[in-house]
Structure 1
């Protein structure tokens, strides 16, 4: 939207989102009582606000009818958030200077909006009719129009001159209507070649509309019924930067090798939640973000991605990919590709030929059972690796599998079949997640040298105090958070690092807490011991008296506490009964 348009919206007390078809907030800071005071001049309607500059604000005052006798020099009229059902053309015709008309969030029907309603508004630039009950668009709109918002109505038909022959038109919002292909004229934007934003999502379109304006840079067609993209549908859109096609019925048969090729400026393409079985050919080289998740893609051929030289984000999760379906050279030359999502596929191993400069790699929820020595031998820049919820076992992780990952900061192996903590973790790790495995042993040396580790998650395993090698915690000199909830610990682990701030030990079998349990952790802020078996006398005040930073001590739900509390309540009730009996005898 031009800067002048935004200024007008601000002047009317409307949020900038108004231009996107969002409802205005009638309780905004500029919508208080002060704003509603009648301004100068006798013609200002009751409860409205009027200014000498021609701004009339009657928004959110429960109007049932279009206000009569508005100031003739009105140039910005705000009537949003009312209950108006009908517009009187003769009243609108008087407002010949009107530039902005906001009627969104009313009860207007097509019957209550005559065809000639806007015929004489020769200066109208901005028209907001979102969230009404219109079934057909107005036949004629002024050719001075810059932005038109008809979102969230019941539109089934657009006419040739609704948006045609308007050289100044820049943005059109038609989302959340009931438009089908039959309701759109072939010349819908004839003579309106400067439209830059077209939002037609959540309708009933089966085909991409014909003759789209060549100036488009943002096109929303998601959540329709699209089955086919006609040949040449995008061939004139050299300036298009964002194309949203997700949540349709598009298949590879519904497009050809040149469907997207002419979109030389395209940076964002969303084809998720369709019926694709492979990545479309002919994708333009300037795409930065490519959404292909939630399809039925089984293969990635050698040359289908390599021409997209600017690709940074590739989202392929929730497909049917197997490792053998990904060509070893599928990512060759993609030097900017740093984020790849492959989770919820059918990968039985780590795919070969991963992007060399990938920083974030999500391969969780697959069928991977092993990590071989050279699976990550070329991904030197990897910073976040998620392998959780696969079928990886401890013996199947090669000790040198992570040797090249010197920049890796976060590694997630949760939800696998690990029985011991594996060897060979990168020394620069800051976050290590091993929760929900079958880990019963932390062997000597598995945590050695990990001086930068800040967070370690070991919850829901089978760890016991004596199954952890003696100096394990002291080697983690930067550890701030240790989660060992849901294990088989019977006491607080000894030798915890001085840096520790949060310790999670809930749902264990801890029965005692020694006097020196927290001597090594003076910075600790939170201790969570809920649902253990700690006896009342096992917790002495002296245990915590030197912990100056302690903010949370959670000891609820311990069995002995509950039983002791119950016994205490029973004893008190018995004493009260005895006292009542003694008083009765004295009487």
Structure 2
């Protein structure tokens, strides 16, 4: 049977079209794993893939961010096989004695290198290695055995710590030509003037902090960077400050020169006058006999303690009108050698320390806006009616360990101290609590005197008094006027230890939390002893005359807040005895 020609062609076209459709159609069923060529995952961009950790020495721990921590693992050699991608390397607290060029020359990305507290010596360091670390910003080499600093350090350096070595020599390019350098620590070394280059910080103009304390310098280093704002030269051998040494330091805010050999001949009236930004000047522990002149006007804190200052002329502090803290303790000042106008104009001065001097009485002309006045450990034997009358803003007054007696303390001496919060009269020769104490008091200390009485009304009106310390005196039960303690409605701490009390006071205030009665003559604790003190947390009765039979257990039963009951050794069989752990806990809380 013959087919027409056009029918054959149509059939052939249909067959070809069907084949094309079959090959182009996606399979409905997944192909077998062996028949399919593996396809790479493209749904997660590689930019978010977590980086692999850098190559890590076996003793160390590493992070993917390039931090390698080998601190304190007793390494005796620099770790090998460190990755070139290491950025922060911690090797402190080991026993590494040598670092060669081969060890570090490939660490081109290293930013922080901590080698503190190792066994490194100058011979064990190759200068060229540090110079190759072009990204190094922080270098810590403190507590090693270096005698000379590296000759060249990279210009990328931001901070360098060479403290507590044995350095005797610094080179021009150790810290020179470091535009990013901000801080250098060289304290506790053996540096002398001869071991420093003339331009130690040449082209390192951004240095802000320089610490060179505890060396053997006899003069202030020259050519210091103008951006310096903190300079430490404590505990050197400074005898003289050359003229102009600080003239080009307009940004210096803190200057520490204590514990040197400075005297007034070693400086002139212009030594500090150009330091217009200076706020803190420490000249303590030197040999000054008078307050230096020409002090900068913006000074806030002035340390002059532990010198040999014998007088304060009227113009000694005339330039420091912004002064807030003046520390003059441990000198040789007498009241008559302090000019009445010495503190005149110091309207911002609020803290004045003059303890451990030779003052015979309260100096005249004290700063009127003072808040804290420390006059302890002098020879003050009297307080006149007007000695404190202009100190309206005083909040803390310490007159402890002087030679005060009741006849020499005027009963109106404290009348103007209406905001006084803390008064310390300890260590004097007082026989009774002085009358006329400020009603604003929050803390009153009169320990280590010869108190035998608290006169009627001596504590009246002290509604803010929270703590009173009267330990180591001669108080007896009848030495205190009736109701004295009860009227102290804010009292939380009462210390009557080391007196001659035979009983527990019966008029204790409800607010009381801590009661110290150790080292008295108390022989009984009646059931009613603490009925009025439900808030009490600590009772101290050690070193009295108590026995098991003389203590009524029920006197403590209702004290739900009691944390420590200290009756002392020999009473451990008492069922209400607290343990020593509670004792420690309570003392920490107080």
Please indicate the TM-score interval, normalised by the length of the shorter structure: 0.7 to 0.9
Deviation string, structure 1 residues 453-512 (Cα, Å, up to 9, x no partner)? 111111111111122211222221221111111111111222222222222111111223
> 1:481-492 counterparts in 2 under 5 A?
481-492=493-504
User: d(CA) in 2 for partners of 1:501 and 1:42?
Assistant: 60
Alignment of 1:303-318 (within 5 A): 303-318=315-330
The equivalent of 2:585 in structure 1 is: none
Matched, 1:225 2:226: no
With over 3 angstroms needed to count, the CA separation of the structure-2 counterparts of 1:501 and 1:68, relative to structure 1, is closer
Once the two structures are superposed, the pairs formed by residues 383-398 of structure 1 within 5 Å of their partners are 383-398=395-410
Normalised by the size of structure 1, how large is the TM-score? 0.86
Q: CA deviation at 1:515?
A: 3.6
Equivalent residue, structure 2, for 1:512: 524
RMSD: 2.0
Partner of 2:257: 245
Alpha-carbon deviation of 1:285?
1.6
Q: Does 1:109 align with 2:131?
A: no
**Counterpart in the other structure of 1:417:** 429
Spell out the pairing of 1:354-503 with structure 2 (5 A cutoff): 354-503=366-515
Work out whether residues 220 and 243 of structure 1, in 8 Å CA contact, stay in contact via their aligned partners in 2: yes
Q: Find the aligned partners of 1:464 and 1:66 in 2 and give their Cα distance.
A: 73
User: d(CA) in 1 for partners of 2:454 and 2:72?
Assistant: 65
Distance 2:54 2:385 in 1: 85
Q: Secondary structure at the match of 1:127?
A: strand
**Structure 2, gaps ≥5 residues long:** 1-50, 575-590
Q: Structure 1 56/511 Cα, relative in aligned 2: closer, same or farther at 3 Å?
A: closer
Give the secondary structure class of the aligned counterpart of 1:118: helix
Task: Give the one of 189, 193, 214 matched to 2:205.
Answer: 193
1:170 alignment counterpart: 182
Is contact 1:532–1:557 with CA below 8 Å preserved after alignment?
no
Instruction: Work out whether residues 269 and 290 of structure 1, in 8 Å CA contact, stay in contact via their aligned partners in 2.
Output: yes
User: Is 1:300 matched with 2:315?
Assistant: no
Q: Secondary structure at the match of 1:269?
A: strand
In the superposition, relative to structure 1, how do residues 440 and 50 fare at CA in structure 2: closer, same or farther (>3 Å)? closer
* Contact 1:40–1:50 (CA under 8 A) maintained in structure 2: no
Moved more, 260-269 or 528-537: 528-537
Which stretch of the first structure deviates more once superposed, 380-389 or 134-143? 134-143
Aligned ranges 1:563-582 → 2 under 5 Å = none
Distance 1:97 1:399, change over 3 A: same
Corresponding position of 1:281: 293
Where does residue 9 of structure 2 map in the other structure? none
Q: Identify if the C-alpha distance between structure 1 residues 476 and 75 changes in structure 2 by more than 3 Å, giving closer, same or farther.
A: closer
Task: Quote the offset at 1:41 in angstroms.
Answer: 7.0
Deviations 1:230-282 (A, max 9, x none): 11111101101111111111111111111111111111111111111111111
Secondary structure in structure 2 of the residue aligned to 1:111: helix
- What are the equivalent positions in structure 2 for 1:20-419 lying under 5 Å apart? 40=52, 43-419=55-431
Distance (whole Å) between structure 1 residues aligned to residue 565 and residue 87 of structure 2: 63
TM-score (norm 2): 0.85
Q: Is the 8 A contact 2:53 2:65 kept in 1?
A: no
Offset, 1:557: 4.8
Moved more, 290-299 or 50-59: 50-59
Distance 1:101 1:377, change over 3 A: same
Q: Relative to structure 1, is the Cα distance of residues 241 and 535 closer, same or farther in structure 2, using a 3 angstrom cutoff?
A: same
Instruction: Evaluate the alpha carbon distance shift between residue 467 and residue 159 of structure 1 in structure 2; reply closer, same or farther with a 3 A threshold.
Output: same
Go from structure 1 to structure 2 and tell me whether the alpha carbon gap of 1:55 and 1:456 turns closer, same or farther (over 3 Å shift): closer
TM-aligned CA deviation for residue 307 of structure 1: 2.1
Kindly tell me: are residues 377 and 194 of structure 1, through their superposed partners in 2, closer, same or farther at Cα, counting changes over 3 Å?
Answer: same
Matches of 2:191 and 2:225, distance apart in 1 = 18
Q: 1:40 to 1:286 in 2, by over 3 A?
A: same
Q: Deviations over 1:320-362 (max 9, x none)?
A: 1111111111111212111111111110000111111111111
Alpha-carbon displacement from aligned partner over 1:120-176 (angstroms, at most 9, x marks no partner):
223322222111111111111122222211111111001111111222211111111
Separation in structure 2 between the aligned mates of residue 466 and residue 47 of structure 1, nearest angstrom: 74
Give the superposition deviation at 1:535. Answer: 4.2
CA distance in 2, matches of 1:473, 1:351: 35
Q: 2: distance between equivalents of 1:330 and 1:377? A: 18
Distance 2:369 2:172 in 1: 50
Distance 1:49 1:465 in 2: 69
Distance (Å, rounded) in 1 between the aligned partners of 2:524 and 2:66 = 77
Say which one has the larger Rg: 2
1:383-410: CA deviation from partner (whole Å, max 9, x where unpaired): 1111010000011111110011010011
Q: Distance in 1 between matches of 2:437 and 2:83?
A: 75
In 1: Cα distance, 2:540 partner to 2:64 partner? 64
Q: CA deviation at 1:296?
A: 0.9
> 1:23 matched to which residue of 2?
none
Task: Give the SS at the match of 2:194.
Answer: helix
Identify the match of residue 550 of structure 2 among 526, 534, 538. 538
Distance 1:92 1:373 in 2: 75
Aligned residue for 1:542, secondary structure, equals helix
Unaligned runs of 5+ in 1: 1-38, 565-587
